Structure 1
Amino acid sequence: MRFGYWLPVFGGWLRNVEDERMEASWSYAKRLAQRSEQIGFDLTLVAELNLNDIKGMDAPSLDAWSTAAALAAVTERLEIMVAVRPTFHLPSLLAKQAANIDRISSGRLSLNVVSSWWATEAKKYGVQFDEHDDRYARTSEWLDVVDGMWKQPRFSYQGKYYSVDDAILEPKPVQRPRPTIYAGGESPAAKSLISSKCDAWLTHGDEPATIAKKVADLRSRREALELPPMSFGAAGYVVVRSTEEEAKREVQRITDVQQSARGYANYQDWIGNTRLEQRVSLEDYSVSNRGLKSGLVGTPEQVAERVLEFERAGLDLLLLQFSPQHEEMERFAEEVIPLVRGAGGGQSLQAVA
């Protein structure tokens, strides 16, 4: 299992807690990234939203791409997965930008392609917002252009949404044949696109049994296309405490739902513009990306066992959220990661003992 984490570019993940002691600043992001690769984390995801959908639209939110470029220059081992929304970036120019960051990082850049969901943000920034399936059709063309720009000496393309005429991109990315392209989605349109044109699939938090079914579905789609195997990742919010009772008390604290919270309208926008396979509760609303559904709550042994369940379900990456980020990442690295890696091969902790 590889351990990744969401970089707190929004100042936190909890919609009911005003101040999580993790400011949306470059100094905090840099400190976290440099420390994380020292204590055993493999990857950071830099989300892309120009407005803050968790703490409220008037709250700070760091730019994803300039932050990713800066992180590439001040880290040594960490994979930098940066989110990108096709409606906000011309594919030929984004391919150039990403290739340069991949070189700055010596081959550590990856993309998380997100077919935009936030209609309000797009309107405020003057960006076109397509209907659901149209967004995926646009993303499909966008991926074709990025892939062609990265791989071919000269590239031309003519589609419904994008056109490129004899374009040249030099220098190419360090990674061959290309940097890893991740994407998430649960609709039929999303699954069809991801299985055919991406390298890895990401999902929101869920139980291992549900994740296993999703992984099996994507694997079968991939095999039917006779393409190389994909990798799989999922989000999760972590609460590690000395006792199960302490962990439960922390969950109660962060799920004290206040529907007047500043991020609630943005959450409703997300629900209205996505097609999820299950209903989302107000408790899920409390933590972004359905993080609590992953069940990474309890003692170090309980959380480690849950991680191993995800490994057996077919995941090879967990994208974790913590609050406050720095302190809880340290706790996870010290108390949970050694248990997981000591087990190895997805074995349960009981079997190892």
Structure 2
Amino acid sequence: MKFGFWLPIFGGWLRNVEDEQMPSTFEYAKKVTQQAERLGYDTTLIAELFLNDIKGPEEDSLDAWSTAAALAAVTEEIEIMTAIRPGFHNPAIAAKQTANIDHISNGRFTLNVVSAWWEEEARQYGGIFTEHDERYDRTKEFIDVLKGLWTEDSFSYDGKYYQLKDTKLFPKPVQRPNPILYAGGESPKGKEVISSYCDAYVMHGGTVEEIASKVADMKQRRAQTGLSPFQSFGMAAYIICRDTEEEVQEELARITEVKESSAYAGFKDFTSKSQLEQQIQLQDYSVSNRGLRPNLIGTPEQIAAKIIEYENAGIDLLLLQFSPQLEEMERFANQVMPLVNKR
């Protein structure tokens, strides 16, 4: 099992806790990432949103790509996975930026391709936001351009959304044939595109049974394309690790007490503009990415046992959320990771 974490660029992960002692600053992001590298974490995922979806649109948040480039220069081993949304990027420029950051990191930069869900954010920032399936049609062309520029000396393309003629990109990325392309999606269209165009599949949090079903389905879809198997299956999860059950339940109650605030500004778009396999409630939305659904809460022994269940279901990468980040990330590394790794 590989252990990754979501970089806290929004000031935390809890929509109803105002101050999680996780400032939205590069200094804090750097401190967290360098500490995670020392603790043995494999990956950090940097979400890309220009508005703060966790604490509210009026609160501070960091830009994903400039943060990724800066972290690539001050780390040595950890994979830096950064989200990219085709509706906000020119694919040729994105291909160039990706190759450049891949060189800065010496081959540690990867992408999480996201077809977007927040219409209001797109309106404010001039992003292209269309009907659900059309967003995935754009994503297909976007990836075609990325891969073409990364692999061909001179690349031309004549698509519905993008056109290039004799475009050259040098240097190529360190990773060949391309930096790993992760993606997540639950709609039929999303699964079709991911199976045919991406290298790894990532999921919101789900039960063991839900995740096992998704993994099996995506393996079958991938096999039908004739491509090599997915390189990885990842899942998001929020961790509550305590010494006693009483402490666990006390913390769970604290973070899921729903309060009316602007932190829930994106809830309607998330649930109506995405095609979700499971309906979620406001309490689920209290923690981002359905992080509580895997139920990775309890004592170190309980959490480790549950992680092994997910590994048996086909998960090989956990993308974890913690609050407060530094303290809980260290607790997990010291108390849970050794139990999983010693098997």
Confirm or deny a common fold (TM above 0.5): yes
- Taking only aligned residues, the RMSD between alpha carbons, in angstroms, comes to 0.6
Summarize the alignment of residues 224-243 of structure 1 with structure 2, pairs less than 5 Å apart: 224-230=224-230, 231-243=232-244
CA positional deviation for 1:124: 0.7
CA distance in 1, matches of 2:229, 2:244: 39
CA distance in 2, matches of 1:62, 1:232: 27
Summarize the alignment of residues 1-353 of structure 1 with structure 2, pairs less than 5 Å apart: 1-230=1-230, 231-258=232-259, 260-343=260-343
CA distance in 2, matches of 1:213, 1:163: 38
Opposite residue 18 of structure 1, the aligned amino acid is E
Match of 1:347 in 2: none
Question: Identity of aligned pairs, percent?
Answer: 59
CA distance in 2, matches of 1:4, 1:271: 26
- Check whether the contact 2:92–2:145 (CA below 8 A) recurs between aligned residues: yes
Q: Match of 1:81, SS?
A: strand
TM-score normalised by L of structure 1: 0.96
Gaps of 5+ in 2: none
Q: Match of 2:41, SS?
A: coil
CA distance in 2, matches of 1:295, 1:301: 13
CA distance in 1, matches of 2:304, 2:128: 43
Q: Match of 1:293, SS?
A: coil
Q: Match of 1:82, SS?
A: strand
Opposite residue 245 of structure 2, the aligned amino acid is E
CA distance in 2, matches of 1:338, 1:244: 21
CA positional deviation for 1:209: 1.3
Q: Match of 1:5, SS?
A: strand
Opposite residue 228 of structure 1, the aligned amino acid is S
Opposite residue 320 of structure 1, the aligned amino acid is L
CA positional deviation for 1:265: 2.3
Q: Match of 1:292, SS?
A: coil
CA distance in 1, matches of 2:265, 2:197: 33
Cα distance per residue 1:168-203 (max 9 Å; x no partner): 000000011111000000000000000001000111
Q: Find runs of 4+ consecutive structure 1 residues off by over 3 angstroms.
A: none
TM-score normalised by L of structure 2: 0.99
Q: Match of 2:293, SS?
A: helix
CA distance in 1, matches of 2:127, 2:257: 35
Cα distance per residue 1:270-316 (max 9 Å; x no partner): 11110001110121011000000011000000000111111000011
CA distance in 2, matches of 1:82, 1:264: 24
CA positional deviation for 1:269: 1.7
CA distance in 2, matches of 1:308, 1:127: 40
Match of 1:348 in 2: none
CA distance in 1, matches of 2:325, 2:339: 21
Opposite residue 249 of structure 2, the aligned amino acid is K
CA positional deviation for 1:128: 2.1
CA distance in 2, matches of 1:201, 1:244: 33
Opposite residue 61 of structure 1, the aligned amino acid is S
Q: Match of 1:294, SS?
A: coil
Opposite residue 158 of structure 1, the aligned amino acid is D
Opposite residue 317 of structure 1, the aligned amino acid is L
Q: Match of 2:266, SS?
A: helix
Opposite residue 80 of structure 1, the aligned amino acid is I
